[in-house]
Structure 1
């Protein structure tokens, strides 16, 4: 509900501007992906975030690096890549060209077969 209310506050000019920014971002990612097959980055900007309840919905309070891919429609996947000293999980994100899910999934599978982080558990 909260997001619908926020959306109702946006003007048509705000929406048009947001679409322009989205298109610029899509072009910039397309230019990068002309040179590489995938983009690899951390999934989150920090370790596992604290959670809060906002309007009855549980949400994380720290930004992730998944937003640009959601916004541009690019396929992306997060795979485990380790733990912090405190035992918190760390994720590796692999993103690719629009409609190239097979490459993204193949890269994630290959990484997981070599790294085997999915088999490891943090100390409890």
Structure 2
């Protein structure tokens, strides 16, 4: 599951492009097939979203949940790729992007009627 938070009036017009950037970066950076993760947008009103001082109304937070196993290098590359692509495609400055990667053991995931550690048919490697 991937969740993107931001001011509703700034996030809404850019949802499709943000989705494309995230899925493209996951594909290139982690080898995950496009659109393989669920992605949701949480658009907030200004009085519900207090972002850090020195940021603009473009400020977004991206939470990415993954099964654990990727190397530190791979995760850092993904984060930097997201910063670059969001700036290139949407003109969102890196200062206006906060990214967290949250990892859980495969047995804590459930999809297609099984737990993640039971899935032997993934088309990508989580250990790189």
TM-score normalised according to structure 1 size: 0.26
TM-score normalised according to structure 2 size: 0.25
Find the structure with the greater CA-based Rg.
Answer: 1
